[in-house]
Structure 1
């Protein structure tokens, strides 16, 4: 028999967002499926949730039924086919072929039909795309998957959701796991049985390594991925939610704390979250984990800490030391080779180190310059706490002395550099090590020291967003080094040097941004955000306003283009102090603080924008001041493009506007005011002026503005300009411009007759704004989507979305929005329109975004079926 299994993709969200509509859609779905199956000789023998299971005597009949159904279905349905023997009992089938068909279906996406090789091999005259061999859950051998291709069926899908597919940020472990097989299996079982499992034990016992292995073992059970949060770089407990939000791409929502925003964003996601190194921020980590588990029943947490988080229903798991045999195996592998006659000495070393993996690895790293006997003899001298008479001392002292022993093997220059580099958060590169190291050495001498520390396993080479090599420390090593730095009385000066270094990069980074190499400036922010956060915190607490203001300015300026708005809060924190001191950077702090408008605080944004005008000279034309015309767009949030236009005019009069931002802003404001003729005149030569600046952000924004000016007069030219601008924004990773250009293209492509491309634009803009928390702007792409849905005859979802998206900014920036609303009222009736609009207005940002995604998927399926 050939079995066909089907399932509706995203059905849970559909039921939760609109159960009544889902009932109607499901009834139509069931009718189509039954008709297609029965008309092709199939037997629909079972429903599974929102899916169906059918049996066919002929593989070709099963394929024809799948094609027929997919062409008529309005919901995104994934289908899987497999052929084999089965047993019929009491109207139901049993056998391995059914399990295979189910697993094949699960690997697919809405609108896709996948076939196992068992079915594909029996077909002829059917177009199939070979997707290669894939591993399916509960299927022992790899299965060759094929995608069915036929007129009316979509063919562009992501890779199959098989065991090779992983989402999240979990990286492959750099080393093998030794001596933990039994414990690994037990912890995997605990994670499946409990929503919170915390691995506890002394530092260096192997908690992180074991957690990563556990997470990798169960990764396939979490469709939304496994996410690792390395809290070691977070020195301030209050920054724990910020660090987690940064990894997940979540920004604080209006009226919510960062902690609440993270918990809300995770609601409904099937994810495993791994919180690593919680001990120094245990209360903050516990608060965040508690909020997440309370908000979402589908998220599970695996944590590592020297102590439990103290939460109800937590399953603590104490990680044990390695036994002697496993410890010897670990030592031998890390040392790369030991001779048989050295085995007794290795066993002695492992016993003395109590089987603690990090201590063993540190000992093994010395084998390039010492014999095992010399290592053992040094342990007798350095680790007196490991002998029986001192067993009552706290266990963390064991590792501390292991690290102290490792430090004892360093020369003074290596020790000093390692201690000074402990001030870095999230890693560092050669240039920053030279700046903070203070060892009086040139770059090459410092490089030699770093190389020595890497070889001795006290530093590791980390990944970077740029071509620069980055270094990081195991947190245990970093903490020990920092303690030594404090004991020497050098911590304060090292932290000041750290802050001064990152502040000193301001001019260089702003120059880099104002060049064709702009994307390198964004990459630097990605690498150094943890250091910038730490440097700002130390400078602000130390009263070093010059350093703090410089860090805020460069991070805030570059962050705006990346849709990273955290620096706005930093600016707000020190504005009053800067104002009291009449600080020279006050105007720039106001300018960065204005960014708070983008997360929904329009009133505060206007207040900061007006304050910046009162402080910054009108004729200022440096890199940061070029931001002024863009920040003044805050007035769109209250539906006053005339105020934006007036400020842009004043800016053009007072400054040279070398990057054409004021001119481009004026064009946008004039179009929002319906002053089309003046906008077109002002746009003449705008692209040439921006090209002369040789700045990708300026050029892509100018193309947006130029396209906006010509959208009615020359729609083809307008469309081409916006497309070119989007390519430039994507190529240079200018996320802010990518979002706004994709937002514009949604409407332009719809008007040009390419609704599929319009849906692509809506998807990009809505996703970016949702992920970054750009609450004040997301209404515009949503309103554009509603405009498109209305044109496609999808009136009810259009009205629902407009209930959320009908904002003052949308009113003044989307031409024809009133006409769309009037049309929807005439089609639906005023009462129905108001009911749907109220429903949309009551949605959260996360809910309306999910609803929009579903409507995009359904509209796409409708359009592709109509081809």
Structure 2
């Protein structure tokens, strides 16, 4: 959670696709809505390209005086969102505990600076509605990304899969195929993937970086239920089989995290792999399409795993009854990371914790929903020790801490701000629909065998 106005395309958390195949009409329409000061609910299936389209619009706003605020949200409440706005403009803490005053401050900052605001990630409709009402000035441009359409005080904007022609052009470009590559050679794969952008990207990275031919990779694709998301999981399954064991192990761990992104210091603490060794394995995963490297200005990168890739990783572990143990390992080692950096008042330690506040919030939610309240209480005490000499006060996370306290004490929250219960993900190999939608499991789900040695090899002794 390191918020800062963005004034350069190079530091957007998502690189705008170039060229943006098959999206010219959508780009113009979304840009026009945002330029007119609309709030836009941008929705589409997981992996359909919501972030890419939002980034393409954001690229046209970064050089404006207000720039872009891109918040990767994770079940924030209204106060957490208002604190994000304050931190973005250098206000770590307000000299008041009065919530209306803090909300008014967020609105004043947005009105004064006029950034394009992007809320990217899971966020309850009630919180979204309340935040728009209490903190967003009239006619202020906002893009909200979601997997499903929801009626509200916004313009609903759907993003669909690519048509056959655009999908082929997209894939040819991503896979660096020359014009002599016949369409007939690509047809079996293109028919399989059904115009799903993420599947096209992951497959293309195998052709360019895994030293496999198009025909060979197509032969590796498993039979899956129909639907582009399920077919993208099939692409991930084929690509996963091309990874070596250390990369497989690290990917499964990344996919089991409580949020979709992490920095190297925390990942090192969780995995036991040294900070010196991790970048090489992570770059390998980036090259193969399993995660993205996200740069924020001059700060060290985060590594983000796509939701469908996370579904794939968790389903493999769950099929072998490894998911709970893996997540408890993540929980316990995250707590060691917090204990290390919260021990003494220190600005560098504050930075380490602030960078991973989304993961700490995910850790807290997991601890609560699995009834590990002693761990949750320890987290609360560690972050709040040393009076006001801690990351909460020094970096402006009072809203986060208040919500953490409510989670701990199980106090009732305002309508629309309840904590979404933890639900074990992907009980079947190709169960891919967003959690807001009723699942449609296949009649005979495809089962894939996990290499249990992948996790075992993820150790300092093996990888260094």
Cα separation, partners in 2 of 1:167 and 1:372, compared to 1, 3 Å: closer
Distance 2:291 2:161 in 1: 24
RMSD of aligned residue pairs (Cα, Å): 4.0
Q: Determine the structure 1 residue equivalent to 2:363.
A: 535
Q: Which has the higher helix share?
A: 1
Q: Confirm or deny that 1:553 pairs with 2:382.
A: yes
Q: Confirm or deny that 1:418 pairs with 2:256.
A: no
Whether the 8 Å contact between 1:167 and 1:226 is mirrored in structure 2 is no
**Which of residues 166, 169, 186 is equivalent to 1:326?**
166
Whether the 8 Å contact between 1:334 and 1:365 is mirrored in structure 2 is yes
Distance 1:165 1:464 in 2: 11
Q: Determine the structure 1 residue equivalent to 2:436.
A: none
Report Cα offsets for 1:609-668 as digits up to 9, x if no partner.
xxxxxxxxxxxxxxxxxxxxxxxxxxxxxxxxxxxxxxxxxxxxxxxxxxxxxxxxxxxx
Q: Confirm or deny that 1:315 pairs with 2:155.
A: yes
Whether the 8 Å contact between 1:465 and 1:527 is mirrored in structure 2 is no
Alpha-carbon shift at residue 354 of structure 1 (Å): 2.1
Alpha-carbon shift at residue 459 of structure 1 (Å): 1.9
Unaligned runs of 5+ in 1: 1-163, 387-394, 578-867
Q: Confirm or deny that 1:187 pairs with 2:21.
A: no
**Which of residues 236, 259, 262 is equivalent to 1:428?**
262
Whether the 8 Å contact between 1:342 and 1:372 is mirrored in structure 2 is no
Q: Determine the structure 2 residue equivalent to 1:229.
A: 71
Whether the 8 Å contact between 2:71 and 2:120 is mirrored in structure 1 is yes
Cα separation, partners in 2 of 1:204 and 1:501, compared to 1, 3 Å: same
Q: Confirm or deny that 1:245 pairs with 2:83.
A: yes
Alpha-carbon shift at residue 419 of structure 1 (Å): 2.8
Q: Confirm or deny that 1:349 pairs with 2:194.
A: no
Distance 1:558 1:351 in 2: 55
Distance 1:470 1:190 in 2: 31
Distance 1:225 1:168 in 2: 13
Cα separation, partners in 2 of 1:169 and 1:361, compared to 1, 3 Å: closer
Alignment of 1:602-751 (within 5 A): none
SS in 2 for 1:505: helix
Report Cα offsets for 1:587-624 as digits up to 9, x if no partner.
xxxxxxxxxxxxxxxxxxxxxxxxxxxxxxxxxxxxxx
Whether the 8 Å contact between 2:14 and 2:51 is mirrored in structure 1 is no
SS in 1 for 2:60: helix
Whether the 8 Å contact between 1:509 and 1:554 is mirrored in structure 2 is no
Distance 2:144 2:379 in 1: 36
Moved more, 201-210 or 521-530: 521-530
**Which of residues 127, 132, 138 is equivalent to 1:289?**
132
Alpha-carbon shift at residue 210 of structure 1 (Å): 0.6
Higher relative contact order (CA 8 A, sep 6+): 2
TM-score by structure 2 length? Answer: 0.69
Cα separation, partners in 2 of 1:382 and 1:446, compared to 1, 3 Å: farther
TM-score by structure 1 length? Answer: 0.40
**Which of residues 119, 124, 138 is equivalent to 1:275?**
119
Q: Determine the structure 1 residue equivalent to 2:226.
A: 385
SS in 1 for 2:173: helix
Alpha-carbon shift at residue 255 of structure 1 (Å): 3.8
Alpha-carbon shift at residue 573 of structure 1 (Å): 4.8
Moved more, 498-507 or 426-435: 426-435
Q: Determine the structure 2 residue equivalent to 1:462.
A: 294
Cα separation, partners in 2 of 1:496 and 1:555, compared to 1, 3 Å: farther
Distance 2:403 2:115 in 1: 31
Whether the 8 Å contact between 2:260 and 2:307 is mirrored in structure 1 is no
Unaligned runs of 5+ in 2: 1-5, 411-464
SS in 1 for 2:356: helix
Alignment of 1:2-151 (within 5 A): none
**Which of residues 394, 407, 427 is equivalent to 1:562?**
394
Distance 2:32 2:294 in 1: 32
Distance 1:565 1:230 in 2: 15
Distance 2:79 2:146 in 1: 17
Cα separation, partners in 2 of 1:481 and 1:192, compared to 1, 3 Å: same
**Which of residues 288, 294, 305 is equivalent to 1:473?**
305
Q: Determine the structure 1 residue equivalent to 2:440.
A: none
Q: Determine the structure 1 residue equivalent to 2:58.
A: 215
Whether the 8 Å contact between 2:192 and 2:231 is mirrored in structure 1 is no
Q: Determine the structure 2 residue equivalent to 1:201.
A: 44
Distance 1:194 1:510 in 2: 42
Report Cα offsets for 1:432-475 as digits up to 9, x if no partner.
4354348xx78887666434322211022333799866422123
Distance 1:539 1:498 in 2: 11
Cα separation, partners in 2 of 1:398 and 1:242, compared to 1, 3 Å: farther
Alpha-carbon shift at residue 271 of structure 1 (Å): 3.1
Q: Determine the structure 2 residue equivalent to 1:365.
A: 205
Whether the 8 Å contact between 2:13 and 2:294 is mirrored in structure 1 is no
Alpha-carbon shift at residue 362 of structure 1 (Å): 0.7
Distance 2:7 2:350 in 1: 29
Whether the 8 Å contact between 1:425 and 1:530 is mirrored in structure 2 is yes
Cα separation, partners in 2 of 1:190 and 1:495, compared to 1, 3 Å: same
